[in-house]
């Protein structure tokens, strides 16, 4: 089974918002990503609307034909948005609204009851759930008690340490993945994955269902073009 590629289009919205107007055209980029082979679209709306806006989420719901993944901190407004839009998947992240980017996974022991209550709301509406976790087998184990369908491994530490010692960098992720497999929890991954480190990660991690990639992919598209870039990333995901 080949790992699915979900393209995070936040950076496209960031460019658009920098000048106002509609360049680049977010909806057209999403359609092109799917046409070029992406198997999912990810968005992470934040309350300040600095990239993806809540209105974008509603617009994209109308046109996305692959998997639609909305990620974010489960504030009251975010929960209402997700329940209204009903994407394929919601990914819960613990970062506060003012965070520049996601920078940590959930403490699934401390917040187990909090997450479980929210996850049940989403699952009762037929929305697949995933929660952002660090590569810690204990955090994966406690994630089981939240009834989440999947976890998404936060891969920043892997990306940072890949060039110095890739075997050491991948080791905790392998352990976390094996624990997820043991507990029958689906496995996603994301954050700073790129053409440099994606292939090794995908080869080493068992039962990896999906990766969500935005910043590096959009940067690469500036050099290679969007169609070529998506093709390059899909090639990295071949077993």
Q: pLDDT tens digits, residue range 40-73? A: 999 999 988 889 999 999 999 999 999 999 999 9
| 120 catalytic residue (yes or no) | no
Full DSSP string of the chain: -PPEEEEE-HHHHHHHHHHSTTSS-HHHHHHHHHHTT--EEEE---TT-SSS-HHHHHHHHTT--SEEEEEE---HHHHHHHHHH--SEEEE----TT-SS------TTTTHHHHHHHHHHHHHTT-EEEEEE-S-HHHHHHHGGGT-SEEEEE-HHHHHHTTT-HHHHHHHHHHHHHHHHHTT-EEEEESS--TTTHHHHHHHSTTEEEEEE-HHHHHHHHHH-HHHHHHHHHHHT--
The range of the structural domain enclosing residue 109 comes to 4-236
Kindly state the average pLDDT of the residues 194-219: 98
| 191 catalytic residue (yes or no) | yes
CATH number of the domain to which 130 belongs:
3.20.20.70
Confidence (pLDDT) at 98: 58
Kindly state the average pLDDT of the residues 27-34: 98
Q: What is the mean pLDDT of the chain?
A: 95
Residue 4 has pLDDT above 80, yes or no: yes
Q: Residue 132's closest CA among 90, 174, 171?
A: 90
Kindly state the average pLDDT of the residues 195-203: 98
At 99, the pLDDT band (50, 70, 90 cuts) reads low
Residue 167 has pLDDT above 70, yes or no: yes
Residue 190 has pLDDT above 60, yes or no: yes
At 207, the pLDDT band (50, 70, 90 cuts) reads very high
Residue 1 has pLDDT above 90, yes or no: no
Q: Name the token pair of 55.
A: 């209105």
Active-site hit among 44, 51, 142, 210: 44
> pTM score > 0.85 for this model?
yes
Tell me, rounded to whole angstroms, the distance of Cα 101 from its chain centroid: 12
pLDDT, one tens digit per residue, over 102-155 is 567 999 999 999 999 999 999 999 999 999 999 999 999 999 999 999 999 999
Let me know how long the chain is.
Answer: 239
At 95, the pLDDT band (50, 70, 90 cuts) reads confident
Active-site hit among 34, 142, 156, 191: 191
More confident residue, 3 or 96: 3
| 71 catalytic residue (yes or no) | yes
Active-site hit among 34, 51, 71, 152: 71
Total count of domains within the chain: 1
Residue 194 has pLDDT above 60, yes or no: yes
């Amino acid at each position: 089974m080949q790992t699915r590629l979900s393209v995070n289009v936040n950076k496209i919205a960031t460019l658009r918002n920098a000048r106002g107007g509609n360049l680049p055209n977010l909806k057209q980029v999403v359609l092109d990503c799917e046409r070029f082979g992406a198997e999912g679209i990810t968005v992470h709306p934040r309350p300040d609307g600095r990239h993806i806006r809540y209105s974008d989420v509603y617009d994209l719901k109308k046109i996305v034909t692959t998997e639609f993944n909305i990620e974010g901190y489960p504030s009251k407004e975010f929960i209402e948005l997700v329940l209204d839009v009903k994407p394929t998947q919601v990914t819960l992240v613990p970062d506060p609204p003012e965070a520049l980017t996601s920078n940590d996974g959930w403490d699934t022991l401390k917040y187990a009851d909090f997450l479980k209550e929210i996850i049940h709301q989403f699952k009762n509406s037929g929305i697949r759930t995933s929660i952002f976790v660090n590569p810690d087998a204990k955090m994966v184990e406690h994630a089981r008690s939240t009834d989440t369908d999947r976890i998404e491994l936060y891969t920043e530490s892997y990306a940072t340490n890949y060039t110095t010692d890739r075997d050491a960098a991948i080791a905790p992720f392998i352990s976390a993945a094996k624990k997820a497999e043991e507990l029958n929890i689906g496995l996603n991954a994301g954050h700073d994955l790129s053409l440099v480190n994606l292939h090794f990660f995908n080869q080493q991690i068992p039962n990896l269902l999906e990766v969500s990639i935005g910043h590096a992919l959009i940067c690469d598209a500036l050099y290679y073009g969007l169609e070529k870039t998506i093709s390059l990333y899909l090639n990295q995901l071949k077993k």
